[in-house]
Every structure is written in C-alpha cells, then in structure tokens.
C-alpha cells in the first residue's frame, strides 16, 4: 500500500504530532473531543519532506490524494470549490511539530474569485463582507504565496480611506472594497506579470507550496537553529473550512490563553475583535478589546468558550493558547496548543498545576524549557532609580507584553539594532509594528516598543519567546518611521536618544534607568530549583575564575567549581605585567622571580574560591594561556615590560617575535608549558596547596580536597611528567605545614588522542574533565578562533544544523567522550568524570552527559540553573540506576 500523506481531522489525534504537526494533531484531537471545529484535513510533514526530495514539487500521487480529500471535505460540509450555489472557502495554514513564527502562517478565504464572491454576497445578503473577504484573500495570497509586499496593498487601502474621508477599515463600504479588490488584482498583475489565479485548485496548490517553501526561508532557518529544531522534520499543512469573523457585528475573532502567558496568573486572558478576521488580531493592525468584554457582546458564545477552555486545559493538563471565531454568534475553535510563556509564567504555572493536582512534580519539571530560565536571571530596574523615574520621566504607557527592564538608545530598524548590538551597544527597537523580518534585530535589542498591537501581536509573542522586554501597542506615539523619529508626550525622540521600558507595567521612560540583577532563589523559582535538585542525578558545578563569580554561582546553586582557568586571573591591568614578565623571561631565574610575584596573587584567589564554595569541590586548572592572548602588542606595554625586566625594548621585541606561533591554539599551551617550564607547575601547586591548608584551618568541618587539573594532555607519559612535579611539590608543602590534606591530580580530556588512550591516561589521572571546546576544535579540525567565518556557509548548505561549539556534536565528539569514560573507568572504576567546555550549560548536551554517565557538568554561573533543570529532565527521561 502506498504511503498516506493526507488525513481528515477525524482520522488523526493529538499523539500524531510528528506526522500532522502541532496544529494538525490538536485540530484532530479537538474534533475527537466533540468541540466545534470547522472541518478539514492535514497534509503531513512527510509530504513536505517528499516535496523537497522531489525537487520542490508536489508529486502526482500527493496531488491526487489532496484532491480526494477535497472531495471528502466537500461531501462532509455540503459545499464545493468554485460552486455557484454553495461554494467552499478554506484557510491554509502551516503547522510544524513545534510552532515556528518564522514560517508562513495563514491564508484565509481561499477559493474566492469574481464569480464566487458574487455568489456569497447574494447568499449572505452581505456584499460588504463578501468583498472584504475577497480583497483580504488577494492581499494575503499575493503577500505570502507570491511574495508581493503587503505594503503595496496597505498603501492602496490608505489611499481609499483618504478618498472616502474615513479612518477605519470597517468604515469602507461594499463598493469601496470591490473597487479595492480590482485595484489589488491590477497591482498583482503589475508585479507578477500574470492575472491573479481564479481557479480554486490552482490557488490551493499555490498556497500549499508556499507553506512547504516557507520551511526553508531564512527566518525559519534562524528560528530552527535557535531552538534546536531539525530541518528534517518538515512542516504539515492544514486545510480547513472557513468560519467567518467578519460577517458583521454578530461575528468576531480572538485569541486567548487559559492563564496569563506573561505572569502565569490563573484565569482567561486574551483579546477579541468584533467583525474581523484572525490576522487583524495577530498582526496588530487594529488594537483589540480584552477578552472579558466578549461576555457583554456575545454572552452565549462566551459561556460556551469558557467551557471549552476548561475542557482543553483539563485534557492537555497545561495552559492552552487558542484561536477562535464567532460567526453569526456561533463559536468555532480554530486552534489550541500548549501556550508559549515567559519563564516567570512557566515556573508559576508548573507550581500551580502541581498544587491543583493536575500534574506530578516530574511532569512539572518536564514542562519548563530549561533554556528559558535565563530570562529569570535578567535584570530589573533598581527600586530607587525606578521610583525617581516614575515621578519624573514616564512619557507614555503601552501594553506590558513581555516582562523585564530595558534601558538603551533608540533605533528604528532591525538592521540598525543588529549593527549597534554587534558593537555591544544596548538598544531599544522602536517600530510601528514588528514582523518576522525583524527577528534578528529583536534578538539584539534590550527592549522592543511598538505603536500597534496587543498581547498577542508578533512583537509580544516573539519578545516573550526570547525573554526580551517588550511594551506594545502604545497608540499615543506619532511615528515617523522612515524619518527615524517619533513624538510622544509633546517630545521628539530620535535615533540615539535614551529610552527605558518596563515590560511588566508597560511604562515608557525618557531616560536611562539603572538596572539590577534578578534574585533567583525566592518563590516559584526557588521551588522549581529544589525540585530539580530532587530529581537530578548529575552534579552541577560552575566555571569560575574569580571569587566573585564563584559566589554568584554558589547563589545559583552550583555544587562546586569544575573549572577555574588560572590564566584568567591575570587579565587585570595590575596583574598582567607580572604575567608578561613570566612569559618573556630569558632564564629560569628571571622566570622564578616573576613567578614569585604571581604566587601570592594566585594563593589569595584560590583561598577566595575555596571560601566561596564552602567545602564543595574546587577544580583548579593549571595555566593554559594561548600565548597570543597575553604577549603585549601596544608599544607602551612593551616599554613597561622592558623597564620591569631591565631589558632593552629591542630585546623584548625579539622575545615577542620568537614567541610568534602560526597556530597558537595548537601551540605552546596547556601542559606543554609545564614540560618546558616545570617551575610554573611548582609555583601553582604551592599556591593551591597553601590556600587549601589556610582555608581548612579556618573551616575544619569543610572537606577541602583540591582537585588539580592538567590541561591539554595527550599522552600518559606527559601526564606522569607533570603529575610527578605536582606530587613532589604538594607533599613537601603539606609535610612542611605539618597538616593532613588530601588532593587529587586529574586531567582535562580535550585532545582526541587522550580520549582514545584514556585507559592509559587513567593510570595517572585521578579524574577526567572534558574540555569540549578544544575537543570539538581538535575533532573537527576547525580553529575555535576562525570557525565563525565559515560555519555560516555550512549552516546555509545544511551540512551542520547547529554550532558544534555551542551544542555538542554527539556523534563525533560525543562518541570520543563515551569511549574515554568507558576506558578511563576500566582502569579506575570510581573515577569522577565531568565536562567543563561551553556545552556544560546547553540542555541537549547536558542530557547527553547524563546518558553517558558523567558525574557532573560545569558551566558559567548564569547557566547553572539551566543545567540543574536540564539534568533533572534528563534523569526523569532516562533514570540512572
Ligand atoms: C575546553 O577546551 O573545553 C576548556 C574548557 O578549556 P578552554 O576553553 O580554556 O580551552
Ligand atoms: Mg581547553
């Protein structure tokens, strides 16, 4: 039997997400629940994959199957495509497994042409509605299928309103709309060079192809990379009979959430427009009314809708985001899905659902997107600074669409936001409304302010998804987007002016306001984090180089330091001098003199680290400075170094020249430095051991066992060479102090050779920690410093779908890790193994680390909460024995 590509809604169900996409699966599920869903069918994600395999064509078999289902739909609803009595009109909507704002979303009213529009005008006795549908269809089809910009049509509407001396679209008459429809068609012909298609089947296939095509557009590709969505998934297409919200004042359309997606507050929240179609709400073209007012306008439909909301929330056991239409007072459900939410809302909803006994603790943890916790760690306004600003600087108020605080300078285009953001500037993106083209700019902005649109406008939805502060729908703004200025409260704001936004109140301030970091330990957040700790098996440590980083990480729940990069302790201006003296020494004596300056600095830092972690393990890595990052390049620094070392400037230049490496990332760094200059290892060992002894004296109850980590090992003899120095020095130091102190000497595994000879390496190394930054670099053979320049082309060609330096390459690098753990534990069964490359804070990589039996992950302080939750999720999915 040949493969089935098309499913009527009643043939599917909610579990068929992979095949039918989220929207399709949920439409099927709602149909099965007996809810009022306009009927239709879903063309599967496999049809999309097949479309690409067939060279971007819908093959004959799939075409025939689609037509068979059109037949079935026509019979089911008693209407026919292009019929003179009872014409069928449909919507065509994309629907991937995960909802994706970068893709084509919706075409409404498909099936209309000059004849059909007259039929529905006569039948309904409502020609205004009929022509409104037609002009909308032409506009949407031209925009999303044929890629003729919306703006050309909007300009024609504006001209028509001007001519008719009206301000609102709803004030245009049937004749005006009819006239507009023919202007639109002329515009289409001018741009495309062909007449607007009149055959509903041709329209349908045009729309389906546009959905498939949109799976591969640049916006969708960016979104997919950001959200780890594989290209191979493809999107489904939903073809559904129209329900009309624009039939007059007895009709309307809206979107609603069963709980507030910004705060998590329980209770219906949403927006509603009378006499409108869906895109009016989402596009933010008209500012809608709150859902509560629907009760007054459509009491019966509202009561029914409230019941549907309850049914759906209980059924899915999660907050729902729904779209609906009222056609002549009758309710139709167009979509439901687990609603996107801010991290703050996610943790509140998860806790509330546990308390309401709707879900278990484990289900609650699985419901939260670990990456999104990052949002909770974003700053809020300093209370005092905000109080002052509240008195003097509020210039307007919009809708509080995505919480958080943002301060920056104004930009008016997404391109400018990207450009300024890349320079490290903090910007506020101000737009009339945003559209998917703006996504890249929105990512760089601290905050987003729009003139139009409500809680569910594009700006609001996308900003919430990104965790970016957003104030939308500030209608008081007089915008001059092209000229790059706006007016508000009698003031003119230009590019570069300071602006602050409060995404939790909607307030707009004409000044910069100080922000403070968020508190991650209280309330719902604290509860979720302790639940995460209850269910995780992996330890979570942090990468911290300074006592202040370590304190921050401990506050975020780190259970140790997995990596202290000692070379990073020398970036400060008052320390780098001594470090350079060490690098540029000509003799052992000179080097020892420089090291003597460095040792007390290191010891004090290490004491700070042990103190900050209060007895949790601390791993200190020996110096691993890629030399090019540390040798002086400025003439003034070179002169200062010459003076300090009593050398000529010429001599320093000679030394610098001699240190030049063609490939510093694979050069004289890591343990190679100790092999050439053992005195460096001696100094570092002393500093670590002395620090540990001092802290142990102060805190006798703490179990201080310093972990000394050797970087870049590739051969067991190399490991032994360095370890021997460490052991000799440490033992002498401990003996001299007359104390007892345990310590461990382990290695980073960051060279493929070390991974595949891990059984040998483990005869010396007492622990392993995967340096997956270098391990990725060395496995792929791309330089960490240069890969950014060409990886873009690899994503474009779909050779790689994500940055291997951010998301662990499980197949290649991961298999080296797995091998190393297995071999290492053959030699030393209980050895602890961790990871401290950047991947330690990436949820999918954390899951992999759990699955291969690592003891802990270590990541930067701000990612510790993410790693804790990801570790719990990994253990819930695949419990460790
Ligand atoms: C690594 O290589 O993954 C690592 C943690 O070390 P660094 O980034 O300092 O080279
Ligand atoms: Mg490394």
- Residues 440-457: tens digit of each pLDDT: 899 899 999 999 877 667
Give the single-character DSSP code of 324. Answer: E
Ligand 1 lined by 563 (C-beta under 6 Å):
yes
Task: Band the pLDDT of 766: cuts 50, 70, 90.
Answer: very high
Residue pair 580/574 in contact (Cβ under 8 Å)? The answer is no
What does the pLDDT read at residue 427? 97
Residue pair 552/860 in contact (Cβ under 8 Å)? The answer is no
| Distance in angstroms (rounded) separating the CA atoms of residues 153 and 148 | 9
The tokens for 97 are: 């497994």
What does the pLDDT read at residue 588? 87
The ligand with the least distance to the CA atom of 808 is 1
Give the single-character DSSP code of 141. Answer: I
Q: Report the DSSP beta bridge partners of residue 330.
A: 327
What does the pLDDT read at residue 802? 86
| Distance in angstroms (rounded) separating the CA atoms of residues 282 and 474 | 16
Ligand 1 lined by 456 (C-beta under 6 Å):
no
What does the pLDDT read at residue 282? 59
Ligand 1 lined by 845 (C-beta under 6 Å):
no
CA 706–ligand 1 middle distance (angstroms): 19
Residue pair 421/253 in contact (Cβ under 8 Å)? The answer is no
CA 777–ligand 2 middle distance (angstroms): 9
| Distance in angstroms (rounded) separating the CA atoms of residues 866 and 870 | 6
In angstroms, the first-to-last Cα distance of the chain is 43
CA 632–ligand 1 middle distance (angstroms): 22
Ligand 1 lined by 771 (C-beta under 6 Å):
yes
Angle between helices 573-583 and 588-613 (to 10 degrees): 140
Is the pLDDT reported for residue 771 higher than 70? yes
Query: Measuring from atom 8 of ligand 1, which residue has the nearest CA?
Result: 773
Is the pLDDT reported for residue 810 higher than 80? yes
Ligand 1 lined by 27 (C-beta under 6 Å):
no
What does the pLDDT read at residue 264? 92
Q: What is the mean pLDDT of the chain?
A: 92
What does the pLDDT read at residue 149? 83
Indicate which residue of 378, 458, 832, 850 is catalytic: 458
Residue 278 CA from chain centroid, whole number = 27
- pLDDT tens digits for 102-154? 777 789 999 999 999 999 999 889 999 999 999 999 999 999 899 888 889 98
| Distance in angstroms (rounded) separating the CA atoms of residues 81 and 72 | 12
Long-range pairs of 736-743 with CB within 8 A, sequence gap ≥ 24: 737/690, 737/693, 739/693, 739/696, 739/697, 741/689, 741/692, 741/693, 741/696, 741/704, 741/705, 741/706, 742/705, 743/688, 743/689, 743/692, 743/705, 743/706, 743/707, 743/708
The ligand with the least distance to the CA atom of 562 is 1
Q: Are strands 289-290 and 507-509 parallel, antiparallel or unpaired?
A: unpaired
CA 424–ligand 1 middle distance (angstroms): 24
Is the pLDDT reported for residue 21 higher than 70? yes
Pocket residue to mutate for ligand 1, from 542, 568, 711, 813, most atoms within 8 A of Cβ = 711
At 864 the three-state DSSP class reads helix
CA 325–ligand 2 middle distance (angstroms): 57
At 224 the three-state DSSP class reads helix
Pocket residue to mutate for ligand 1, from 626, 779, 836, 845, most atoms within 8 A of Cβ = 836
Ligand 1 atom at minimum distance from 543 CA: 5
Pocket residue to mutate for ligand 1, from 626, 628, 749, 773, most atoms within 8 A of Cβ = 773
What does the pLDDT read at residue 570? 78
Ligand 1 lined by 707 (C-beta under 6 Å):
no
At 310 the three-state DSSP class reads helix
Q: Report the DSSP beta bridge partners of residue 618.
A: 561
Q: What is the mean pLDDT of residues 831-852?
A: 96
Is the pLDDT reported for residue 474 higher than 80? yes
Active site (annotated) includes residue 48: no
- CA–CA distance from 5 to each of 30, 65, 238, 493, 631 (Å)? 21, 7, 12, 54, 63
Active site (annotated) includes residue 378: no
| Distance in angstroms (rounded) separating the CA atoms of residues 266 and 264 | 6
């Amino acid at each position: 039997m040949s493969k089935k590509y098309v499913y009527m809604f009643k043939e599917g169900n909610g579990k068929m997400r992979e095949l039918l996409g989220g929207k399709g699966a949920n439409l099927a599920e709602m149909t099965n629940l007996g809810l009022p869903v306009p009927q239709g069918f879903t063309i599967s994600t496999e049809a999309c994959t097949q479309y690409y395999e067939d060279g971007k064509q819908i093959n004959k078999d799939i075409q025939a199957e689609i037509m068979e289902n059109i037949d079935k739909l026509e019979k089911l609803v008693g209407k026919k495509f292009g019929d003179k009595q009872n014409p069928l009109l449909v919507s065509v909507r994309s629907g991937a497994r995960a909802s994706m704002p970068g893709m084509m979303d919706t075409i409404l009213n498909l099936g209309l042409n000059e004849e059909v529009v007259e039929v529905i005008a006569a039948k309904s006795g409502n020609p205004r509605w009929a022509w409104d549908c037609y002009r909308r269809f032409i506009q949407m089809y031209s925009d999303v299928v044929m890629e003729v910009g919306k703006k050309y049509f909007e300009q024609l509407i504006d001209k028509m309103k001007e001519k008719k001396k009206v301000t609102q679209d709803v004030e245009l008459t049937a004749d005006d709309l009819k006239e507009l429809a023919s202007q639109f068609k002329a515009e289409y012909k001018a741009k495309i060079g062909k007449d607007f298609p009149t055959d509903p089947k041709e329209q349908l296939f045009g729309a389906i192809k546009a959905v498939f095509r949109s799976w591969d557009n640049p916006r969708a590709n960016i979104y997919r990379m950001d959200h780890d969505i594989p290209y191979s998934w493809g999107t489904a297409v939903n073809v559904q009979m129209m329900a009309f919200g624009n039939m007059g004042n007895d009709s309307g359309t809206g979107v609603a959430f069963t709980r507030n997606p910004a705060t998590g507050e329980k209770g219906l929240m949403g927006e509603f427009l009378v006499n409108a179609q869906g895109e009016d709400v989402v596009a933010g073209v008209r500012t809608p009314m709150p859902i509560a007012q629907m009760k007054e306008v459509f009491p019966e439909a509202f009561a029914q809708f409230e019941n549907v909301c309850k049914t759906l929330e209980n059924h899915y056991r999660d907050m729902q985001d729904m779209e609906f239409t009222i056609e002549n007072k009758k309710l139709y459900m167009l979509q439901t899905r687990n609603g996107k939410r801010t991290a703050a809302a996610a943790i509140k909803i998860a806790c509330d659902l546990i308390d309401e006994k709707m879900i278990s603790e484990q289900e609650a943890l699985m419901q939260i997107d670990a990456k999104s916790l990052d949002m909770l760690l974003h700053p809020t306004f300093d209370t005092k600074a905000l109080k002052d600003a509240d008195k003097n600087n509020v210039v307007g108020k919009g809708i509080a669409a995505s919480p958080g605080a943002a301060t920056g300078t104004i930009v008016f285009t997404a391109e400018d936001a990207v450009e300024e953001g890349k320079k490290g500037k903090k910007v506020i993106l101000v737009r009339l409304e945003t559209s998917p083209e703006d996504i890249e700019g929105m990512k760089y902005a601290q905050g987003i302010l729009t003139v139009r649109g409500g809680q569910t406008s594009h700006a609001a939805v996308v900003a919430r998804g990104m965790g970016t502060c957003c104030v939308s729908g500030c209608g008081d703004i007089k915008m001059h987007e092209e000229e790059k200025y706006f007016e508000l409260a009698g003031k003119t704001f230009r590019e570069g002016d300071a602006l602050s936004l409060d995404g939790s109140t909607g307030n707009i301030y004409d000044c910069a306001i100080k922000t403070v970091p968020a508190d991650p330990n209280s309330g719902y957040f604290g509860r979720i984090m302790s639940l995460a700790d209850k269910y995780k098996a992996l330890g979570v440590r942090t990468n911290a180089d300074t006592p202040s980083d370590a304190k921050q990480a401990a506050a975020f729940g780190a259970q140790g330091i997995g990596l202290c990069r000692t070379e990073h302790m020398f970036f400060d201006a008052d320390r780098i001098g001594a470090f350079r003296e060490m690098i540029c020494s000509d003799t052992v004596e000179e080097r020892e003199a420089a090291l003597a300056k460095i040792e007390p600095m290191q010891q004090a830092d290490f004491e700070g680290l042990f103190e900050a972690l209060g007895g949790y393990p601390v791993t200190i890595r020996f110096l691993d400075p890629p030399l090019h990052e540390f040798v002086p390049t400025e003439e003034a620094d070179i002169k200062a170094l010459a003076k300090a070392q009593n050398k000529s400037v010429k001599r320093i230049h000679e030394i610098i020249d001699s240190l030049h490496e063609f490939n510093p990332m694979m050069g004289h760094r890591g343990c190679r430095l100790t092999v050439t200059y053992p005195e460096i290892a001696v100094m570092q060992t002393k500093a670590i051991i002395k620090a540990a002894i001092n802290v142990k004296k102060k805190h006798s109850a703490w179990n201080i066992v310093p972990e000394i980590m050797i970087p870049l090992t590739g051969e067991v003899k190399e490991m032994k060479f360095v370890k021997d120095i460490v052991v000799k020095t440490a033992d002498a130091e401990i003996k001299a102090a007359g104390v007892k102190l345990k310590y461990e000497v382990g290695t980073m595994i960051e060279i493929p050779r070390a991974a595949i000879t891990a059984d040998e390496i483990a005869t010396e190394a007492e622990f392993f920690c995967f340096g997956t930054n270098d391990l990725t670099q060395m496995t792929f053979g791309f330089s960490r410093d240069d890969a950014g320049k060409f990886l873009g082309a690899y994503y474009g060609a779909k050779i790689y779908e994500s940055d291997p330096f951010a998301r662990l390459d499980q197949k290649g690098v991961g298999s080296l890790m797995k091998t190393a753990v297995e071999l290492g534990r053959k030699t030393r069964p209980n050895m602890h193994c961790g990871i401290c490359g950047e991947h330690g804070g990436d949820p999918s990589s954390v899951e992999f680390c759990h699955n291969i039996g690592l003891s802990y992950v270590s990541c930067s302080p701000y990612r510790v909460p993410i790693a804790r939750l990801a570790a719990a999720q990994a253990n819930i999915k695949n419990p460790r024995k």
